[in-house]
């Protein structure tokens, strides 16, 4: 059996090619027009409210930070400060591949006012007849259609999503999330740089593709990853099972959160992987043998100070950074080098979100590279579709 981690560079390249091949030539005019309308609406709006669920919420969170860096008041559905009421001069951007995600619909529905002027909703979805699309229509917003099929479509699901025969990514919905982010990055990037949408698209995704992930570094990550718990075999074991803690700040934190959701799905039918995002409710106490994965392009000193207590108790640290000689890189047991950041930052713990998506290459490369890692992990451990689906949250 071939080592799936050796295939990660190929899977990464195919993934970027798959994403950047959208839009097709015949769809470019509509794509560019939607990007123009999207930016015009953002510029005219007093506030921008982003809504999503699960990993689509992480795409919304990522977008919120880019817009906020461009001096626009904006909120995400993950924020406790999200407005209870929307004004007619606000706008709502709702992300849902199926267009039927209940929590996302809840946020979008609040924009419709039968008597007063509604708040326009931009629905980013793959289904133009969906509930979310209908809300966009009746609020005088519009629909941005992205490629993809509903998760309810079972045709060759496992073959398409796991083996890479039809899709190089894994576990339904991922391409929907990436296509959503692609549109948003292309629109914002075009506006910030004053370049035509498709010119920015070609330049940006060409840069994303210009990265060769190291199979050896991913193999090290896998070997450090605590095993899933098999509850049927734990009766006689008294030792605490080890867990994985994943962290990052600002845009890097969004990528960390997305990986924590994804990785928690990767275990067999009678198993569970203990995964914590470092900002989860309550304090996440690390123990000897636990793994901490930190995303920080700059590898700043803040993380070195934060991680020292974990090293002292025998915890393991894996850094995802642009600088292996940074304070974070030096305190880590192993690392994944992802280029993109230009310099090491020591001044504070703040990551200083970029205004131009071109400055977020580290995060986008890390995000897609981790998708390739999940692909390899699923193959290596022969995790079944049923096992993965049973771990998807019902609270959506």
Looking at the predicted structure, is the pLDDT value of residue 209 above 60? yes
Is the preceding omega at residue 394 within 30 degrees of 0, hence cis? no
Q: 163 falls in which pLDDT band (50, 70, 90)?
A: very low
**Tens of pLDDT, residues 230-260:** 877 766 555 778 999 999 988 999 999 999 9
**Residues of 358-367 as b/e, b for ≥16 C-beta within 10 angstroms?**
bbbbbbbbbb
User: For residues 97 and 126, is the Cβ–Cβ distance under 8 A?
Assistant: yes
Mean predicted confidence (pLDDT) in 361-366: 96
Judged by average pLDDT, the poorest of 4-18, 50-64, 149-163 is 149-163
Looking at the predicted structure, is the pLDDT value of residue 172 above 50? no
Q: What percent of the chain has pLDDT over 70?
A: 87
Mean predicted confidence (pLDDT) in 90-118: 94
User: For residues 360 and 322, is the Cβ–Cβ distance under 8 A?
Assistant: no
Strands of 11-95, DSSP E: 47-51, 73-76, 91-95
Mean predicted confidence (pLDDT) in 156-171: 43
Judged by average pLDDT, the poorest of 121-125, 176-180, 194-198, 232-236 is 232-236
| C-alpha span between 77 and 86 (Å, rounded) | 13
From residue 274, how far is each of 263, 287, 379 by CA, in Å? 9, 13, 19
Looking at the predicted structure, is the pLDDT value of residue 310 above 50? yes
- Domains of the chain, CATH where assigned: 4-209 (3.40.50.10490), 215-389 (3.40.50.10490)
Looking at the predicted structure, is the pLDDT value of residue 169 above 60? no
Looking at the predicted structure, is the pLDDT value of residue 34 above 80? yes
Mean predicted confidence (pLDDT) in 325-351: 82
**pLDDT of res. 203:** 98
Looking at the predicted structure, is the pLDDT value of residue 346 above 70? no
């Amino acid at each position: 059996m071939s080592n799936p981690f050796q295939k990660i560079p190929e899977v990464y390249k195919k993934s970027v090619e798959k994403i950047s091949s959208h839009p097709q030539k015949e769809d470019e005019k509509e794509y560019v027009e939607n990007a123009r309308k999207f930016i015009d609406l953002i510029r005219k709006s007093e506030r921008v409210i982003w809504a999503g669920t699960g990993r689509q919420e992480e795409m919304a969170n990522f977008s919120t930070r880019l817009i906020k860096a461009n001096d626009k008041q904006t909120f995400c559905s993950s924020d406790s400060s999200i407005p209870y009421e929307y004004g007619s001069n606000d706008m709502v951007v709702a992300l849902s591949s199926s267009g039927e995600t209940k929590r996302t619909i809840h946020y979008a529905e609040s924009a419709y006012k039968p008597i007063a002027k509604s708040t326009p909703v931009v629905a980013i979805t793959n289904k133009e007849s969906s509930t979310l699309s209908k809300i966009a229509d009746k609020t005088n917003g519009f629909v941005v259609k992205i490629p993809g099929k509903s998760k309810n479509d079972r045709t060759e699901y496992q073959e398409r999503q796991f083996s890479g025969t039809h899709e190089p990514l894994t576990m339904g919905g991922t391409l929907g999330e990436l296509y959503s982010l692609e549109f948003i990055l292309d629109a914002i990037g075009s506006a910030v740089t004053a370049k035509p949408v498709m010119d920015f698209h070609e330049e940006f995704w060409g840069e994303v593709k210009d990265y060769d992930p190291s199979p050896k570094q991913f193999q090290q990550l896998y070997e450090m990853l605590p095993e899933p718990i098999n509850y049927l075999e734990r009766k006689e074991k008294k030792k605490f099972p080890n867990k994985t803690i994943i962290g990052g700040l600002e845009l890097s934190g969004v990528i960390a959160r997305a990986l924590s959701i994804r990785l928690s799905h990767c275990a067999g039918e009678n198993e569970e992987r203990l995964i914590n995002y470092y900002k989860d409710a309550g304090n996440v106490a690390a123990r000897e043998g636990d793994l901490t994965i930190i995303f920080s392009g700059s590898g700043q000193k803040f993380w070195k100070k934060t991680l020292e207590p974990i090293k002292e108790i025998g915890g393991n640290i894996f850094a995802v950074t642009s600088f292996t000689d940074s304070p974070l890189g030096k305190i880590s047991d192993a690392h994944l080098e992802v280029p993109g950041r230009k310099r090491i930052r020591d001044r504070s713990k703040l990551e200083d979100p970029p205004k131009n998506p071109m400055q977020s290459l580290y995060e986008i490369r890390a995000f897609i590279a981790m998708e390739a890692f999940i692909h390899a992990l699923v193959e290596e451990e022969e995790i079944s579709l049923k096992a993965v689906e049973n771990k998807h949250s019902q609270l959506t």
